[in-house]
Chain A
Amino acid sequence: MSEPSTPEPVISMRGATATLGARTVLRGVDLTVGRGEVAALLGANGSGKSTAVRSVIGQVPLTGGTVELFGTPLRRFRQWARVGYVPQRTTAAGGVPATIREVVASGRLSRTKLRLPGRADRAAVDRAIELVGLSDRAKDSVSALSGGQHQRVLIARALAAEPELLIMDEPMAGVDLASQEILAETLREQVGAGTTVLLVLHELGALEPLIDRAVVLRDGCVTHDGPPPEAMGQHALPGHDHVHPHAASEPARTGLLT
């Protein structure tokens, strides 16, 4: 459990503002994630948590503020193999059949780029599939999988590059309890190995023991940044973004606490 003030922040977002269409989604968000930290972004639907993580990896352009990854401004950041991304999806399938292995192998492209994959690359793909417990089904079509298994494939795809930073957008959405446990276990191993994690969550759920820090967004502003509040597990549902008594001692990044 590293302190939020770790010397080298992996993610450093300052005063980020962003709009989607005519709507302002982020209004000056500060977000710092230190090496080895596990941070959860929480908030109601439309609070801007998905936009915040997507702007960290350059998928939503910022209208103001700055983002740095591993100390490099996002505009000049090229070491994408250090980042594993799990987008918000309900399915890992496309318009053509593909096996679990084929989908997971595409995650290795951040390292292989345009060259052919070697033995080490194939081994990393196998390891990623094993980490999510799908080795016996590696040659099955992803379309034959359950919702939770789809999510496991998407996470294995992110792990195939052996990233130092894992960014996940609602990895637990639509995942049954058994798969949630497997995902939590996978994540625990990654965190144990020193991986930094930023995830968007609707509720802490099975991941609660892993999380060092919770950042709560409301209407595009940070309303809480500190240890996950005790009651968060049950109350991190839409409309339940109230701040608990002990949070008052935490630094409030904006003046918009309710």
Chain B
Amino acid sequence: MEFLTPPFMQRALVAAVLVGITAPAIGIYLVQRRQALMGDGIGHIAMTGVGLGFLLSTNPIWMATLVAVVGSVVMELIRWYGHTRGDIALAMLFYGGMAGGVMLINLSGTGSNANLTSYLFGSLSTVSEEDVTAIVVLAAFVMLVTLALRRQLFAVSQDEEFARVTGLPVRVLNLLVAVTAAVTVTVAMRVVGLPLVSALMVVPVAAAQQIAKSFKVTFVLAVAIGTAVTLAGTVTSYYQDVPPGATIVLLAIAVFIALTALATPLARRRARGRDKDSEECTLEVPVARPDADDVRV
């Protein structure tokens, strides 16, 4: 447990655990509505926020949160109104966000390559006290939304039209999912880096649903997997000179592969259990036809 001693490691572990919990917690709703890559888009947009933070010499986490939240709201609005060219509009938003970020960081002058790298690929060892405070506050918001509103978010993500007819405030809930996803992106960017944030939202959920039958179990399992891989990845990067973000994502994918391999025999056994009583053919087969059928010439 020597890795617990250095203060930077304590901060890194707090950040890692919070990311491991929050990313799958909001990611499950994105996967449920088949928008698994939404987090990826928000990550691109958040880049502009990081750039703005450098330019204005404020903490990039708060600026990235602000820009990502605005970007996610615009994405949600495009989803409502821009039916036909929605994907093109989203592409403009994503690439514009990424390019804008790189440009702003360059303009700020303060943003050295090393600084940029810490947001692109995550840099746990440079997580400051201030960063930890920001991450704790943002993570608390994400957990509050994803747990307290789980029934409502489940309904909206499962069948949006049906949810509207139940009278739920579907637009507000959709915006809340988008904003929460944006907040999660900025929580996670210091740990795994912006391009890999989406992976932590999606891969633990994908792994969990290989063996889960219910939404509840998928949720709990995804959060458990997320926490386990972020912790393991962080500790590994302390002992070995490997980037924590990449280690965490590769570990998550390894869990996905392991659970997928495990799931096939499991599903087979379940199907056998279910069909046990219906294995035999119980249809009544008409016994020998009566004489009436005998044709005599």
Q: Which residues of A contact B (CB under 8 A)?
A: 57-59, 78, 80-81, 83, 85, 87, 89, 92, 94-99, 102-103, 105-107, 109-110, 112-114, 117, 139-141, 144, 157, 161
Asked if A106 and B167 sit within 8 Å, CB to CB, the answer is no
Complex interface: chain B residues within 8 A of A92 (CB) = 159
B272 shortest CB reach to chain A, Å: 13
Asked if B157 and A57 sit within 8 Å, CB to CB, the answer is no
Give Cα distance in the complex from A81 to B166, angstroms. Answer: 7
Complex interface: chain B residues within 8 A of A58 (CB) = 164-165
Known contacts A57-B165, A87-B162: does B213 contact A94 (CB below 8 Å)? no
Interface hub of A58, A109, A161 (most chain B Cβ within 10 A): A109
The binding surface of chain B is classed by DSSP as helix
Complex interface: chain A residues within 8 A of B155 (CB) = 106, 109
Q: How many residues of B contact A (CB 8 A)?
A: 33
B231 shortest CB reach to chain A, Å: 24
Interface hub of B34, B158, B216 (most chain A Cβ within 10 A): B158
18 more contacts with CB within 8 A, not counting A78-B167, A103-B158, are A59-B161, A85-B162, A85-B165, A87-B159, A89-B159, A96-B31, A97-B217, A98-B158, A102-B216, A109-B152, A109-B163, A110-B165, A110-B167, A110-B168, A112-B151, A139-B213, A141-B213, A141-B214
Asked if B214 and A109 sit within 8 Å, CB to CB, the answer is no
Asked if B218 and A113 sit within 8 Å, CB to CB, the answer is no
Complex interface: chain B residues within 8 A of A103 (CB) = 158
Judged by a CB distance under 8 angstroms, whether B205 is at the interface is yes
Known contacts A89-B159, A96-B205: does B168 contact A113 (CB below 8 Å)? yes
B46 shortest CB reach to chain A, Å: 24
22 A-B interface contacts by CB (under 8 A): A57-B165, A80-B167, A81-B167, A85-B165, A87-B165, A94-B32, A94-B158, A95-B32, A96-B28, A96-B215, A98-B215, A102-B154, A106-B158, A106-B159, A106-B166, A107-B166, A109-B166, A114-B149, A141-B213, A141-B214, A144-B274, A161-B166
